[in-house]
Chains A and B, each alone.
Chain A
Amino acid sequence: KAGVTQTPRYLIKTRGQQVTLSCSPISGHRSVSWYQQTPGQGLQFLFEYFSETQRNKGNFPGRFSGRQFSNSRSEMNVSTLELGDSALYLCASSSGGTQEQFFGPGTRLTVL
């Protein structure tokens, strides 16, 4: 089986712009979770989608949003980018519940 894929791998944006990141889960997995990783805050949970519905949400402002499509692929959007949004964004896929979560390679976002 192919692993979790994320596109793009690297992204450079300027403050005020918006960005969309994509995640394709492992075939058959219906749950996709998004995380932000920074040197200061570590790995923090953003949100989780299961069967096109947001099931869990972390403590991030409304500028961070996401969605999931019927084929389980997920997108994450960040509007009005701030310098502090520079981070490695990781998505994880699982079959749901308390099952193993497998992570993608991440998207490195730099905001200038």
Chain B
Amino acid sequence: SQELEQSPQSLIVQEGKNLTINCTSSKTLYGLYWYKQKYGEGLIFLMMLQKGGEEKSHEKITAKLDEKKQQSSLHITASQPSHAGIYLCGALSTYNQGGKLIFGQGTELSVKP
């Protein structure tokens, strides 16, 4: 079965610094989702990538899906305390699998003021 591996598992950065979180799959991804979660709360949708080489940005967050569609990265520029939380990547493992997402274990981000 497909698994998603995120790295690093946790990250502490100084406010203003850039950072990158990676999400790697053993199989081709048919849709890659990035979410942010505050502890014990729901997931906030950030971005969805579908095409190899695709890149999307929202405010200071940029996500990319590699050409082979097996790895995605999430980059935050000039981090702020509001960026702190748990970042999760989720993916559709099979085309036309509808709403069945598998998730990575998450990356916990702390931003020190």
Do B40 and A100 touch across chains, with their CB atoms under 8 A apart?
A: no
Q: Is A16 an interface residue (CB 8 A)?
A: no
Residue interface mask A89-107, B partner, CB < 8 A = 1 = 0101010111111111110
Q: Does B82 contact A (CB under 8 A)?
A: no
- The answer to whether A101 and B103 touch across the interface, beta carbons within 8 angstroms, is no
Q: Are the C-beta atoms of B99 and A92 separated by less than 8 Å?
A: yes
* B residues 78-105 in Cβ contact with A at 8 Å: 88, 90, 92, 95-105
Q: Which of B11-19, B28-36, B58-66, B69-77 contacts A (4 or more CB under 8 A)?
A: B28-36
Also in contact, A31 and B42, with CB within 8 A (given A98-B31, A98-B50, A101-B33): no
Do A97 and B40 touch across chains, with their CB atoms under 8 A apart?
no
Chain B nearest Cβ from A93, distance in angstroms = 9
Asked if A108 is an interface residue, CB under 8 A from chain B, the answer is: yes
Neighbouring A residues of B45 by C-beta, 8 Å: 100-103
Alpha-carbon gap, A43 to B4, bound state (A) = 12
Complex alpha-carbon distance, A45 and B35, angstroms:
15
Contacts of A88 in B (CB 8 A): 40
Chain B residues with a Cβ under 8 A of chain A? 30-31, 33, 35, 40-45, 48, 50, 88, 90, 92, 95-106
* A-B residue pairs in contact (CB < 8 Å), sample of 27: A33-B98, A33-B99, A42-B106, A43-B90, A43-B103, A45-B100, A45-B102, A48-B100, A50-B98, A50-B99, A56-B97, A56-B98, A58-B100, A88-B40, A92-B43, A92-B99, A92-B101, A94-B99, A96-B98, A97-B98, A98-B31, A98-B96, A100-B45, A101-B33, A103-B42, A103-B44, A105-B41
A residues whose Cβ falls under 8 Å from a Cβ of B: 4, 6, 31-33, 35, 42-45, 48, 50, 55-56, 58, 88, 90, 92, 94, 96-106, 108
